Chain A
Amino acid sequence: AQKITQTQPGMFVQEKEAVTLDCTYDTSDQSYGLFWYKQPSSGEMIFLIYQGSYDEQNATEGRYSLNFQKARKSANLVISASQLGDSAMYFCAMREGRRTGANNLFFGTGTRLTVIP
Chain B
Amino acid sequence: ETGVTQSPTHLIKTRGQQVTLRCSSQSGHNTVSWYQQALGQGPQFIFQYYREEENGRGNFPPRFSGLQFPNYSSELNVNALELDDSALYLCASSPDTLSRGGNTIYFGEGSWLTVV
Contacts and interface: CB of A to CB of B under 8 A. Distances in A.
B109 interface: yes
Contacts of B88: 43
A90 to B, nearest CB: 11
Nearest to B98: A98
Contacts of B55: 101-102
Interface stretch (B16-24, B38-46, B77-85): B38-46
A43 B56 contact: no
Interface of B: 2, 30-31, 33, 35, 41-45, 48, 50-51, 55-56, 58, 88, 90, 92, 94, 96-98, 102-110, 112
Contacts of A104: 33, 45, 48, 56, 58
Contact of A35 (B35, B105, B110, B112): B105
30 contacts: A4-B42, A35-B105, A37-B107, A42-B109, A43-B88, A43-B90, A43-B109, A44-B2, A44-B107, A44-B108, A44-B110, A46-B2, A46-B107, A47-B2, A47-B105, A47-B107, A50-B103, A50-B104, A52-B103, A91-B42, A98-B98, A100-B96, A101-B30, A101-B50, A103-B31, A103-B94, A104-B58, A108-B42, A109-B41, A109-B42
A116 interface: no
Contact of B51 (A4, A101, A107, A110): A101
Nearest to B33: A103
A45 B46 CA distance: 16
Contacts of A101: 30-31, 48, 50-51, 55, 96
B32 to A, nearest CB: 9
A106 to B, nearest CB: 7
Interface residues of A, number: 27
Instruction: In the A-B complex, list the 7 residue pairs whose CB atoms are closest, starting with the nearest.
Output: A107-B42, A101-B50, A45-B107, A44-B109, A43-B110, A50-B103, A101-B31
Contacts of A47: 2, 104-107
A88 B105 CA distance: 19
Interface in A76-117: 91, 93, 95, 98, 100-110
Interface in A12-29: none
